[in-house]
Every structure is written in structure tokens, then in C-alpha cells.
A and B are shown apart, each in its own frame.
Chain A
Amino acid sequence: MAKKSPEIEEYKYGFRDEHESIFKTGKGLTPEIVREISRIKDEPEWMLDFRLKALETFEKMPMPNFGGNMDDLDFNEIQYFVRASDKQGKTWEEVPSEIKETFDKLGIPEAEQKFLAGVSAQYESEVVYHSMQKDLEDQGVIFMDMDTALREHPEIVKEYISTVIPTADNKFSALNSAVWSGGSFIYVPKGVKCEMPLQAYFRINSENMGQFERTLIIADEDSHVHYVEGCTAPIYSTNSLHSAVVEIICKKNARVRYTTIQNWAPNIYNLVTKRAVAEENATMEWVDGNIGSKLTMKYPSVVLKGRGAKGMVLSIAIAGKGQHQDAGAKMIHLAPDTTSTIVSKSISKHGGKVTYRGLASFGRQAEGAKSNIKCDTLILDNESTSDTIPYNEIMNDNITLEHEATVSKVSEDQLFYLMSRGLTDAEATQMIVMGFIEPFTKELPMEYAVEMNRLIKFEMEGSIG
């Protein structure tokens, strides 16, 4: 079998454009820089206070004592804010041409025309393009970038920001709170059901960039919404940091699905905090795909707060050479009859490392709650590794918790079987891998499933040496 160079050279979104930003804070993090970010955004005083307090918290908090190696992550080498464009486009023609070309290459305008109800495109620190279908607007759906939301709906932002994820939740949520910029704000009014997904696309272009988007989704009673995000960046020899905070509030009977296809370049630290609160009979679903980055630490969580609330995390993580995916899920059952499902599929290859880290917690009130957790790992070669680290906290006797974990290698017999029908070694391995993650891909909208399959095939090429 022809040996291909490792996937670091093969990351297909690693191109960069030569766009000159119009403002940047330069490297490093000080209260002055935080003031500068707030000033240039013309924010209300309370937000500046929020940021400055968060910066103090960040400085006091220790680094996480678990997860991956962050030794070469130097907070002083990061640019915390880069403004690429002085206005947000409502049509692609209004977006600076180099940036538009980048999004064209990523296929965003094309996808928008075909099957999206709304699109937001963030480039460096801010959203450069935004649009939403008129009928959703007419129904009162708000979908805008977080900076605009702070200007146009300050009362809603103030009411909900940091209520799901406190600033001091962890060092990176504190950092995000201090320097956040961009991200999506969504409000879906009572009873409104968005049939087509809303999408945000996050792109880092500069070297040593820190992207700190802040997303807040509020789904009012009986509403439905599906939000999709994708992420890519160019490859540089030095590290960049992506550290988002995503807070979601699912009110009574609401249903929110949040789909991520993270395909960061292999020099990106991806340290993200995502959490949702689900009220009575609400359903929150995280569909989380982690293919890229140098280190990802991300554990999408659902706080099941109302009776009968449901939470789901369906995730895949693929770690290749030099990559560590430390991912998982947290389900916090606080109310009776709440149910949760976690399905985690991990693949390691070429010396990559995957860790499933999960929490199933049942409070005293979680009478009759149920959780079902399934973690499967597929290891493609002898240099690659996997770990499964589940935590359970149970304060109520009347709950059901099922946990199942498997670790497998692509078996000789399976390969022989497929090859005996004429498939090459590479085709057979790819087929087994695609089958392994099928429970994930089948949950994606068709267009994303096709793209996902293409990405995985691309990732798998050269996996067999």
C-alpha cells in the first residue's frame, strides 16, 4: 500500500488569505486590552465590568488538572482581538473580497442557497456576514451575532448571559468571558418551529489568533431549532486558541439540536465549554463531531432541570498524528423522570489519542431518571491509544444508569471478508470506519452527512501504511 504523508500535511482547509485586518490588540492580555475591546465595540458599562471581573477570575484560576497537555500554550503569545472588517455584510458582495473568497472555497454561500434558513460567518473575532430568511424574521426569530445582540437586545443578553455557565466555571470560561467577541445569539419565540437549520461558520485566518466566540440560544416554550456550526483554520507552525462558551436555554417542551463539525487545523487548541439547561419536557441534543485540532477538551452538558426533560449527546472524535481528543459529555439529572443518552464514538490512528471523559449525575430529586451511556472506540494501529473515564454521582436510589464501553481494533477477519469481495485494504478499512461512525452521520442533515463522509474518507486515506 502506498504510504501517504501524515495528515498534518493533508489538512485541506489549511490555506490562508492575505486579508489585512483593520484593527488588532496585539499579543498578550491585560486589563487595558480588555478595556480596548469593550471600547471599540462601544459596549455598555456593565459589560466592561463583567469582562474585567472575568479577567481577574481567569488570572486567579489554575489550569485544569485533567485532560491534555497544554505546556506550549502561551497566553502571552495570543492575539485576543482582531477586527477584519468595519461592517457586517448582509450580502456576500458587501464582504471584503479576500474574505469572501475564503468562504467561497469553504462552500458556505453555496450551502446557504441550498438548504439553510440563516447563515452567520465569523472571521477572526467578528461576524463578517449574516443573513436569515424573511419568514423566520417575520415569526419573530432573532438570529444575529452576539455583538449586535448586545447592542439591539441588551436586556435579553444581560438576563441570560453567564446563567448557564458561570464565569468561574473553569479557567477557559473565565477567559472567554473577559475577551469574548462574536458568536451567535438566537431567540426562538413560543411555538415557532424552524424547519431548516441555522448555521454559523467560524474561520481563523491569522497566526497566533485567539477566537473567543460567545453563543447564547434561547428556545422559548414549544419551539424547535437546529443550529449547526463548522470551524476551520489555516496551518501555522505556532499555536492558535479557540475557546468558545455556548449557553443554551430550552424552555418547557422546546427542542434544540446543536450540531458541530469541528475540523480545526492541527495547530489549534480547542478548549470549549458548552452547556444547556432543559426545562420541563424539553429536549436538548448535542451532535458533536471532532475531527481536527491539536487538543480538544470539550464536554457538552445538559442540566436536566424540569420533569421529563431529555438530553442527548452523540459524538465522534478522530485523533490522528499529534492529536488528542479529550471529549465526552455531562448529564446532570436534577428532576424526576429525566432521561439522557450519550453515544460516543472515538477513533485513534497514527499515534493519536482519544479520551472519553463523561459525567452522569443524579440529584436527590431525580426520581425515576434514566441514563444510557455507550462509548465505543476503534483503534486503527498499535501506536494509537484510547481511554474511557466515566464519573457517576448518584444521590437517589430510584434511578437507572446503563454504561457500556467497547474498544476494538479493525479485525483481521473483517478485513479479509471485505477484501475477499474485491475491496482493497484501504477501501475495506474505510468501510469499517464509516460503518463505525454511521450512528453519528445518520443524524446529520443529508448535506452535512455527505460532507462528513467526504472528510472522513479524506482523513482515512493514508491511514494504512
Chain B
Amino acid sequence: MTTNFVIEGLKASIEGKEILKGINLEMKGGEIHAIMGPNGTGKSTLASALMGHPKYEVTAGSVLLDNEEVLEMAVDERARAGLFLGMQYPSEISGVTNSDFLRSAINARREEGSEISLIRFIRQMEAKMKDLDMNPEFLHRYLNEGFSGGEKKRNEILQMMMLDPKIVILDEIDSGLDIDALKIVANGVNAMRSEDRGFLIITHYQRLLDYIKPDFVHVMMQGRIVKSGGPELAHRLEAEGYDWVKEELGIEDETVGQ
């Protein structure tokens, strides 16, 4: 059975203020969906709320991953069910090496007694790091501590590759990347494309979508998806900006508003 991810009427607020005002989206394995939109329209909130960040309170709606209600799961249960969020600002954890962390994360998905062997794990991790053109010393560096913006993003992609999720959400994975790093990150994502994996890519810019070809493009404004289309929509946004969308829909202020 191919992966199936359905968001229905999702509303979420922060400190009592509603940011997501009813998101509807359906994704299947093998598909890449891009969510675009100007700043302050709720894109990152959508990513965090799907993963279950405690700062956001979900007030309505449902999110089904292969017919299971994600919103009833704790953050770690969502991860183990197959959800992955590549974050815009990954946390730094001092004293915990990248490899110890990732091995624990992989073993969290395995039964006690069938943990991944150290040798096998290191080989896998080294191979993926090579694909991402990461210095092998990052195995032993503390998790994200002192990493540059680009190194953090590559590290997010590395984790995605190692954890083999069903649904990948990438939140502004392209921000702060130069063109070479962008290509490497995009190659990493493309290498992970498969029939049983769906991608939800949140981005500001069309640029990333030159390297990761989306099947569907959605525009977010005022905490809702206001327009959906194919890859051509992204090209038009790149060429003409967002004003025509606002005009077409009669929107004056596209942000979630105060």
C-alpha cells in the first residue's frame, strides 16, 4: 500500500492567536508537493504543527498518515510512524555527538535486541555523508553545535536519509544555502524519491524547485492554501511575484494578520 497523507481542516493557534485557518491537503507516496508563499502566511507553523511542536495548539481538523490520526500522537510517536521534519532552525545539543544521536534515533525505531550494529551504522552514515559532501569529522561533532547554516541543513538531510521516513516535510531547507550546497541538498532529496515516500517542501523561492521538481505547487496566504497547481504555478510566481494571486483572490494583506 502506498503512503497516504491527508490533512483536513487543520487549524492551529499560538498563545490564543489563530495562525492556521483550515488547511486541506492530500499527498500520496511518490509525490512532491511544494508550499510557497510570502513571509508570515503560516508556512512554518504548518510544518511545526504537523510534527507536534508544543508551542502550537491544534484547535480543529485531522491529519491522517495511512489512516492513522497523527494529531493524537506524541511528537516521538509521529516520528516513529514515519513523519520527518527538516527544520529551518535545528537545535544545538552540546556534548552529544552526531553519530550517537542518529544511532539512538535509528534504534528508537527498532525492537529491543535488534539494534543496528555499530559497524553497519557507521558505514551507512559515512556513505550518506559522502553523498552530501560532508566532512567525516561531522560524525563526531556535537549535534549542530558550531555548524554553519549550510552545515545544519545538510545535517537535516543526512538525518532524513538515515531515518528513511514515509512523509518528509522540509521547512525552508534552502534558506542560507549557496548554490553548490543547494544542489547537494536537492540531490539528496532526489535520491530519496520513491513510490512510498511523499515530500512536502516549504519554500520561499522558486530556486529550490529548479533542482527538486514538484508535482504540485500550493500557495499559502492568511493561514490557508489559496491556490494550487502544477510546476507551472511556481514558474509564474518566480516571474511575476505574488501580487497577481492577491489581486485574483481580492487579498490585500496576505499575512495571518494581527
Contacts and interface: CB of A to CB of B under 8 A. Distances in A.
Nearest to A414: B91
Contacts of A437: 95
B62 interface: no
Contacts of B108: 421-424, 427
A412 B14 CA distance: 15
Contacts of B84: 420
B109 interface: yes
Contact of B53 (A416, A432, A439): A416
B164 to A, nearest CB: 11
User: DSSP class of A's interface residues: helix, strand, loop or mixed?
Assistant: helix
B142 A420 contact: no
Interface string A410-439: 011110111111111101100110111111
A420 B95 CA distance: 19
B123 to A, nearest CB: 20
Nearest to A376: B94
B136 interface: no
Most chain A CB neighbours (cut-off 10 Å) among B93, B94, B142: B93
B79 interface: yes
Given A412-B54, A423-B105, A424-B108, A418 B93 contact: yes
Interface residues of B, number: 30
A418 B101 contact: yes
Interface string B83-109: 011010011011110000110110011
Contacts of A425: 74, 76
A110 to B, nearest CB: 24
Nearest to B110: A422
B122 to A, nearest CB: 18
Contacts of B87: 417, 420
A16 to B, nearest CB: 33
Contacts of A417: 87, 90-91, 93
Given A412-B55, A431-B104, A435-B142, A422 B80 contact: yes
Contacts of B143: 435
A420 B93 contact: no
Interface string A153-167: 000000000000000
A423 B104 contact: yes
B62 to A, nearest CB: 20
Contacts of B51: 416, 420
Contacts of B94: 435-436, 438
A387 B54 CA distance: 29
B29 to A, nearest CB: 20
B78 to A, nearest CB: 8
B96 A416 contact: no
B75 interface: yes
B95 A434 contact: yes
A419 B79 contact: yes
Interface in B29-80: 51-55, 74-76, 78-80
Interface of B: 51-55, 74-76, 78-80, 84-85, 87, 90-91, 93-96, 101-102, 104-105, 108-109, 142-143, 159, 163
15 contacts: A412-B54, A416-B52, A417-B90, A419-B75, A420-B87, A421-B159, A422-B76, A422-B163, A423-B104, A427-B104, A427-B108, A428-B76, A431-B96, A432-B93, A438-B96
Interface of A: 411-414, 416-425, 427-428, 431-432, 434-439
